Structure 1
Amino acid sequence: YSKPQDTYLAHNVMDSIMMLFERIEKQHGRILVYHALAYITASRSGLSESELEDLLSLDDIVLDDVYQYHMPPVRRIPPLLWTRIRNDLPNYLSEREADGVSVANWYHR
């Protein structure tokens, strides 16, 4: 349940999408979401989950943000973090096969 004063409607499609990304950034962390989606955007044919996890695990800015309160024995991004983001964007990301591997990329017509 959301209080009426906490519910906002966008004026157009672009504002709607921006509100969605802002909500996801608040929920999962701005740096993690920004970097994960930037890697997908920069990829030509999409990224597999393991490729994205590798990229995020090599990104010290992301790791410093994710592990700001404790240091794990192995500094690697937990796979669940990307899974949660992906599950919040089902209508915007598509899964397809590239070179025999399932990859995530932006959905477009």
Structure 2
Amino acid sequence: MDSTSNDKMNTIDRTAEQLPWKARAAAKRDECLSATPDEWRLSEAFLASVSATSTSGTNLVEAGVIAKSGVLSTKEVQLTGSNTAAQLVEALQSGELLAETV
């Protein structure tokens, strides 16, 4: 990193230290969003269509959000939606699944 970049980071750090935590959190959230390519994000229309049910709560798999998003293939949705992490590890250890698949 060159000295100009370091100076800029130091200025940002000093400015951040002076902001209340809510403003710092908002700034960090904005920074993360701006670093995420648009094609990696779910559309606003899709997000608006998502609603939690009384049974799913915040479980995105149960709510069907993962399957509807198009981010994962049908096989990936089946693997992640019907297996626990322990089951996936067991299937990997037995050779039933490959790490590449999971």
Give the TM-score normalised by structure 1.
Answer: 0.30
Higher RCO (C-alpha under 8 Å, 6+ residues apart) = 1
Rg larger for? 2
Point out the structure with the larger helix share.
Answer: 2
